[in-house]
Structures are given as structure tokens and as C-alpha cells.
Structure 1
């Protein structure tokens, strides 16, 4: 039986839960899950399991949490599960000893149309760069990250009002379906892996750091608008407003520039708008969040904060 195929699933965040759930709903035999070690979170710094571990435990799937993927006892335990195939979604880089172990190989789901947007944060960067489409890719693992032979791809349009939150949700569901499609194709030997065309690796998608989030008002209003979309709702594009650090979560490019403003200055009626002058055009802040406070519409912010 095809569905007797023994699968080990590797993943950590919420994005990886949907593909795991889809595999189970479609009757595939997931024999174990590998995920990150529990991490201290919150004020009490209590160790909290990853979303994938939480889901696996609720479905009685054995969970492995190796701090070191080259550890001999972990490798022996992994081998004991006699996996035919390994599926990786939003996990860390695997050593060859791990990804080469199952006879049908190891494939990864990546949230872009590879080879474009290789890296840790493709969903953020397609929005930051103002793209109008993206997608999901399944590919076979090899030594260099995100470079293995492509199995399947599906496109997803990017809407003008998308941010990371909305695009993440759609790609998570599309990716979950593609993982099931890929497993079915591998189980029936109905795959034709294609080499990546490295000339199409046009944009990197590196990890997002704090400095990535700082708004540079010398850039155009459109570029800053896309930065905000690509960092909302988390981690948030940042600026200083009224002497305080604040996250800017939603903006609108204005079709006119307020008179008399220098670069980085703003104009407000202290009731309904805050308009910033950029290097090219003006930007209206629609939603923001002060540090330690809830997010709020600009009108709500202005009710409690008078700007000079």
C-alpha cells in the first residue's frame, strides 16, 4: 500500500503545522516528528513546546528534539524508525547524514518560487520588494541551502493590501496541499526532479534583523510602504514618533505631498492623520503600536497623544 510509506516530518513553527495536519488527514503514515527543543518564553521564562511538538503530542506521534543533529544516539534513534521519506518544513539546516538517510530522500517546502528568494524570510522579502506574485516550492535537499532539484511549484498572487500575516496564511495552506501532492507523487514514483536555474536566483531572502526594520525616510513612499507590509504584523517597521519608538503596521502612499515639510518631518491635524515626507512622495500612517502598548488606528493614537 502506498500510504504505508513511513514518513518522518521535521518542522517547528505554526507554518509547519498545516502540512503535518494535511498529511495525517490524507491518511499518510507519519511515524515520528523532529522539532526544536522547548524554549523559555514569556515573563516567567517557562519552557514552551514548538507548535509542531504541541500538535504531534495531541495526535500521539513520537517527538524527537535533538540539540545536535549529528549526535550518534540521535542518528541511531532516527535510523530505528526506518523512514522511507523525510519531509522538512521550516526547520534548520540538516547534515547530509540526516537528509541522505531515507531511501526515497528528503524534501523541503519553501515559501517562494525557487530559485528566487532563497533564505530564511521569503514571505517578508517578496513584500518588501513590492512583488506581485510568489508561491511555494517543494525540492529535494542537497548540501547548499535551498538549491536542490525542484519537485513541484505553485504560484500565489500577492494582493496590494497583503501583509506578512495575510500572505503567510495563504502560503501555509497552499504549501500544505503541495506537500501532500509531493508525497503522493514520490510514493507512486511519479516525480521528475528539475535542476534549479541559478541565473533566476535574483533576490536573497535573509533573516530579518532589527536594523532591517528601521524606516529610512530618505527612501520613496512606495518603498517604505512595502517595507511596512513586509514586516506587519511582526516584527514591525520602526520609527521614532514624538520621541518614542513605535511600530508602523499599516500605511498608505499619498497622491500629493504636504507643503513645507523637509525629509522625515510629519504633518498632523491631531485628529485623523499623520503624513510623513519621504525621499519621494508622502506617506500616511494608518495603524501603529507604541512599545508595550496595543496596536491602534492612527485616530485612536491621536486621541491620547498630541503631536506638535
Structure 2
């Protein structure tokens, strides 16, 4: 099948690989190269790199709904369009090109978590179950008819990055099932229930500031949801300390003083009061230093009974 694949980050790679292995005739549309790092080296998005390795034709537009973007789509004349974390809103003109429409792979169980960062927010909000959805794309934000869903449990200590990788693979499998059902004429689109719909915005760095008074669960979930980017942090004596990994602990009782470091030594780790319980910090990073485990962190930093803010 002639397919136009629209995707940008790592999340889209398993789906692109699946289409390549299926033997579909794939043309790729992705975001432009962007400057990365202190030297601002122009770097292609992951999907572009993979597509070129597969020998696929690649288009890059700032806006695919521009005249040039629409013209390129029409010139390629795909039978089907597939989107996976593309990062742009499609126009009616874009969606009118493929005769079978556009299938989107979304990292949540729609209609929950419509929007840009469903995986991170599901972890931050302490969800126990999430999954992937394939849907027919319309001009709204993840509002199209649902095709197939697949759910999975979120591990108690699973980070957003780990869940991201799992859902990317699940999304590719679900996309394959969806396309095969389309080819058999067995797809039955279902309208989304607007009463159950929730939205989620993009993640910003400032969202990572830990408020220990919110309780042990909220703190642990924020740390997991902000890993690997932008990473949760707390202020300690005027410095922003990144908190990479935590877990619940019953080694010390809460004193009802959120942010208080109850213990910090090589043998017992770093324990922080959260008001309703205690969190153990397993990995952290001081300004200008490398990420390290708690045992190494306490060697060069006296932390006992100081307060995270």
C-alpha cells in the first residue's frame, strides 16, 4: 500500500519500522532539522534518520498544511496517511488527499489524555492503567473516531521514558493490526465519548519543581513522569538539585515536615519527609555534577536535616 507516514520523534520509529518490514511503499513527512546543543549543530529528527536508512523519500515542512505541503502530498498520492507524534495539526486539505483517510497512533486510551504529552501526564497523575489508541484523524486535537485500543499497566516505579518506549512498540503492533483490518474491510470506527474526554498540555521545565507537601505519592509520580525530560528538581540551599529516581520508604516515620531530609548516609540512603510519609531518593544530580546514586552523593555533600524547598 502507498502510505504517507508523518512522524518526528523516537515514539514513531517502531511504527515506521513496521511499515518498512511490511513492504509498504512509504514516503515520509517530518519536522525540519533543528539546532541541538551548545554548538547548535543542525540535527535531523529521528524519523528522518531512520527513513533515509530505509531508502524512503523524505519531505520536511514547517507546516504541512502550507500550499507546498499539500502539493507534495497530492503529488505522492498516498492511499493512506499515518501519523505518530508528528507534532503538527493537519488541515482538511491534507486529510482529503488519501482515499482511506489518516490513521493516528496515540499514546493514551482515548478519549483520556488528548494532547501533546499523554504519557508523561499519565505517570504524573498516578494512573495505574494506560495504553495506545489508533484513531481516524480529523481536524480536532485527537478527537477522531477510535479504531482499536490496547491497554497496559503502569509499573509502580516505571518512568515516563520507560513507558514511552513500551507504548511506542505497542503502538506499532496496534497500527499493524489496524491496517490489516482496514485491508480486510473490517474496521468499525467508534465515536469518542466527549463526556469522558480529558486534555493534557505540553510539559514545561518549571512543572518539575517538587512540592514535598503534596505527599509521597505525588512526589514519586512527578519524579517518574519528569524522567528523562525535563527531570524533577528541588531547591537545596539555593541550588536546584535534580531528582532522577525515588521510591517509597518506611525506614523512617514522617515528622510532618515536608522537604526535611531525615537521613542521608551511605548505608541508609537519602530519606525525605513528604508530610504523609517518606520518599527515598535513589539518584540525583547537583549543579555542575554528573548524575549519581545516593551513596556517592552523600560522600561530597552534607545533607542531613537540611530542607528541600
TM-score per shorter chain, which class? over 0.9
Structure 1 SS opposite 2:6:
strand
**2:162 matches 1:166:** yes
**2:30 matches 1:35:** yes
**2:280 matches 1:284:** yes
Distance 1:150 1:136 in 2: 11
2:48 paired residue number: 53
The runs of at least 4 aligned residues of structure 1 exceeding 3 Å deviation read 256-261
Matches within 5 A, 1:185-264: 185-201=181-197, 203-255=198-250, 257-258=252-253, 262-264=257-259
1:145-180 Cα shifts (integer Å, max 9, x gaps): 011000110111112121112211111111111111
Normalized against structure 2, the TM-score is what?
0.93
Distance 2:255 2:71 in 1: 70
Structure 1 SS opposite 2:175:
helix
Structure 1 SS opposite 2:42:
strand
Distance 1:279 1:96 in 2: 51
The equivalent position to 1:144 in structure 2, one of 140, 143, 158, is: 140
Distance 2:254 2:203 in 1: 35
1:111 paired residue number: 107
Structure 1 SS opposite 2:258:
coil
1:231-287 Cα shifts (integer Å, max 9, x gaps): 112221110134321111111222365475633221234334222222322222111
For structure 1, the 5+ residue unaligned runs are none
Number of residue pairs the alignment of both structures matches: 302
Conserved? CA contact 1:108–1:140, under 8 Å: yes
* 123 and 259 in structure 1: CA distance in 2 versus 1, 3 angstrom threshold: closer
The equivalent position to 2:171 in structure 1, one of 142, 160, 175, is: 175
Structure 2 SS opposite 1:136:
strand
Distance 1:212 1:221 in 2: 17
Structure 1 SS opposite 2:89:
coil
Q: Which moved more, 1:134-143 or 1:186-195?
A: 186-195
The equivalent position to 2:298 in structure 1, one of 293, 296, 302, is: 302
2:307 paired residue number: none
* 260 and 103 in structure 1: CA distance in 2 versus 1, 3 angstrom threshold: closer
Distance 1:187 1:264 in 2: 56
* 238 and 81 in structure 1: CA distance in 2 versus 1, 3 angstrom threshold: same
- TM-superposed deviation, 1:43: 2.1
* 7 and 141 in structure 1: CA distance in 2 versus 1, 3 angstrom threshold: same
1:126 paired residue number: 122
Structure 1 SS opposite 2:114:
coil
Distance 2:287 2:95 in 1: 42
1:94-132 Cα shifts (integer Å, max 9, x gaps): 122112221100111000100011111111111111111
Distance 2:221 2:264 in 1: 25
Normalized against structure 1, the TM-score is what?
0.93
C-alpha RMSD of the superposition: 1.7
Structure 2 SS opposite 1:299:
helix
